[in-house]
Structure formats: structure tokens, C-alpha cells
Amino acid sequence: MRRTRKAKIIATLGPASSTPQAIESLFRAGADVFRLNFSHGSHADHQARYDTIRALEQKIGRPIGVLADLQGPKLRVGKFADGKIKLETGATFRLDLSPELGTSVRAPLLHPEVFAAMNVGTELLLDDGKLRLRVEQHGGDFAETRVIVGGELSNHKGVNVPNVVLPISPLTDKDKADLDFAVDMGADWIALSFVQRPGDVLEARKLIARKVGSRVRLLSKLEKPSAIDYLEEIVELSDAVMVARGDLGVECPPESVPILQKRIIKCCRSAGKPVVVATQMLDSMVHSPSPTRAEASDVATAIYDGADAVMLSAETASGDYPVDAVTMMDRIINRVEEDDQYTVITDASRSQPENTTRDAISAAARQVAHTLKAAAVVTFTSSGSTTLRAARERPQQPIISLTSGIEVARQLALVWGAHCVPTQEVRSFAEMVQTAAKAAQDESFAHPGDRIVITAGVPFGCSGTTNILRVAEIEESGEVL
């Protein structure tokens, strides 16, 4: 089974999509990677879904990626005596560390790190930004605020503190336990929530490094405006990045989110790191069999911008039309990638290759494949780096990624254009060419008379040594010239 598109689809699993039949239907509809959201469900739930994915992988014969998404710290108000209150615009309202039930004039906010970071004038957003408070007076255990935008506030609603770096780790005790479980389970990617600064990424990397033999990759979710101040450093330290537009859209003005999306994608493209665009992409399809025109345009914009993957959340986890949502996203991506303007935009936004052998080879491979109208670019990779550099070039041809490691093949399921095929490790130049030609034909990318462009590294099996470019023509006999 092969896809006809280059950008990938991530589908979140949940109550609406956890049976073997549902997961297979999502995959056949177009899902390339499955997201396990550790904000919901038990370890047993996630293990069962993971086992189902791996059984499907064996049945289909194609690597499938699994993304374990950590919850991260959640700042919330406490409970109210009557369950909810009404905040009037212009009124005063107190937040404090007292665990007593909230009233119309105060509420518990049991997060001392928030009080430690705030200043007079700091704005607090409640319930996904529906309510807005401004701090007028504060101490180590309280804040007197003025209600700027009022409304109803109920138990355990979320609190956002925009434009403030909170003295808090992105990894709670729950997250650390979830991370250990996900790595032991065999997840291919760990998604780190609440990233504010480069040190947050390093903290997660240290925890992953403790797991002996782990090759899991780290995806940083950019959902805090403070992370944008360290964008280049965070991208450099991460294996991939997600534009998490939900919280980002709460803490930033709505008109800034599209601009930030383009900036993040451009930075990741330049660094050769996969980038995912997420949140409410086809949100109306949670309860409708078709999206709004604006949602279809939103997905298309992410593809035109150059995203490696787009993600569905509630649409597939708890929605009424999970398979329809994946099918629609697949249709939109295919339609955009068929557009001549997509090629023009992609070529215009390509970054200059870095001054390295692997970048020179990858850039040359794209140019040669384009000039010769080759059927595919075939990469041999042990760590994934050769395929990542090929994907950075955004060739018009599909990228067939050959690797002897199934873990690498699963991880590359997230990467733009990469069709991953596990294969035996090659030991000679002739074996490399024959293996590439056979894979291109077996996977229905090339036929007799076609040419393929091959990139690899010598010595074979050593990561980061891309230094070979070979053009091969497939003869009628299936042999190569």
C-alpha cells in the first residue's frame, strides 16, 4: 500500500476509534501516524491501542508511526461552592492559595508558581480565553485582579498566563511516569507539552536518555508565546516541532497565529526538522460529515506553507465521523499537491543547502531527479538523517526510504514525502543499486525504462555519512544499468 501524496496525516485515537476495525479504517483512509493522547485514558487503554496498531502493521506490511502526547502541567482554578459563578466586567476578583471553595469574589488557584511569576498588569486568561483578568495587586499567595472580560466561570477551568515564563517544568510526575511507560511500550515519538524554553527540551531528553537502548524521538509542541522567543534553539534541540494552535491561539491575538504558523514552519524547513500543524483543523467534522469551507482552506494553507504533517484531534478521537475526517483531509492534501502553484511555492521557499557533504548530495539528488524526470529518489539510511535531508529539499518525486531498522522506518512515517520500506542492510555498492531498484518496482513507484536517483552513505550502516549519488535505469529484465 502506498500514498499518492507527500504530506502526512496524524489521527488521534480515542473512544470513537479504538477498535481494530476502526483503526484499520482510519489507516486505509489515509492516517500515517496515530496519536495516543495521555491527557485521557489509562496506560492499559494506550497499550491496547498500541498493540492493535502493531498487529495492523503486520497485516498491512507497512510501518506505522505512534506518537505519545504527554499532558504537561495544567493550570486550573479550584472548585466553587455552587459549582459556578458569574464574573461581572469591572468587578474585583481575588485568586489565592486557600483550598476553600470559591465564591463570587474569590477562587482557589493552587499554583504558587503563577503568583511568583506575575506582576502588576499581568493578564490572566480563564476558560480558554473566554474570561480575562488583570492583576492590580499581588503577593506570594494571592492576586487581586480586575475583571476585564466577564462571564461564567465553573469548576476546574483552565488558566493561561500569556507573555510570562512560568518557573515550572513541562514534566509533571504524571508526565514522567507516562514518558517511561510510552518508551517501554515502543512509541516512536514523544510529544512534549508546555515547552517554554530550550531547557525544557533538554530536561525531556535527559529522561529519554535514561532508557537504555531507546531511540524514541522528541517532538516539541509550541503552544506558549514565550517559546517563540527561543524558536531557533528549540527547533535545533528537537527532532520535530508541532504548531499547537489551540493554546497558542488563547495566549496570542488570533491575527498573530497564522503569522507564527508560517514562521515556525519556515524555521523547521530550514533546519530540516519535521513540522506538524495541529488543532481544530476540521473541527466541525466532530459532529458533521463535511467541513466548512474555511476549515478546508485552513488545511490547504498548512500544506501550501510546507508542513510535513497535519493532525486531527477530537475529529477522530471522539467525533461522529472519524473516517470521513481522515478521508477529507486526504482529499484536500492530494488536491493541493496537484496544484501547479503548490510546486511554485515549494520551490520558492526552499532553503539553501548547508555547507556539508550530505546537504550537497541531497540538493544534487533533487536537481538530478527533476532534470531526468526520475521515478523516485531512493535513500538508504540507518538513523533517518539521509531521508530527512532529502525531504528538506522537497523533491517533486516520492522519496523511498530504505532502512534496516523498523524503529527508524516508523519514525519516518511522520516525514514529508517519505515512503518507508524496511530492508536488509546492504554491504556493497552493487547490492545497494539492486536493492533500490527492486524496492522502487515492488512498491509500484518505478517500472522498466524508468530511472531512479539513489543517495546513501559509505561506509554503509554509519549514520550521518550521506556521500553517494547514483542514477540507475531499470531494464526490462528488472536489472539496472
Give me the active site residues, please. Answer: 35, 76, 221, 279
Other beta carbons less than 10 A from residue 285's beta carbon:
25
Amino acid at 158: G
Outline where 412-453 has alpha helix (H): 429-442
The total number of residues shown for the chain amounts to 481
Query: What is the 8-class DSSP label of residue 428?
Result: S
For the beta sheet containing 451-457, the strands, ordered from the edge strand earlier in sequence to the opposite edge, are 418-422, 399-403, 376-380, 451-457, 466-473
- For residues 266 and 35, what is the distance between their CA atoms, to the nearest angstrom? 24
**Helical pair 340-348 and 293-305, crossing angle rounded to 10 deg:** 40
Helix (H) or strand (E) holding 344: helix 340-348
Q: What is the CA radius of gyration of the chain?
A: 24
How far is 462 from 460, CA to CA, in rounded Å? 6
143 CB-near residues (< 8 Å, 6+ apart): 94, 95, 96, 109, 114, 115, 118, 124, 135, 137
Q: How far is Cα 246 from Cα 455, in angstroms, rounded to an integer? A: 39
**Grid coordinates 476502526 are at which residue?**
22
Burial class (CB in 10 A: 0-12, 13-18, 19+), 322: buried
Please state, in angstroms and rounded to a whole number, the distance separating the CA atoms of residues 278 and 309: 9
Half-sphere exposure of 255 (CA within 13 A, CB side): 0
Distance of CA 399 to CAs 24, 111, 118, 445, Å? 24, 48, 49, 10
* Cross-strand pairs, 8: 309
**Whole-angstrom distance, CA of residue 300 vs CA of residue 333:** 7
**What is the rounded distance in angstroms from the CA atom of residue 335 to the CA atom of residue 291?**
15
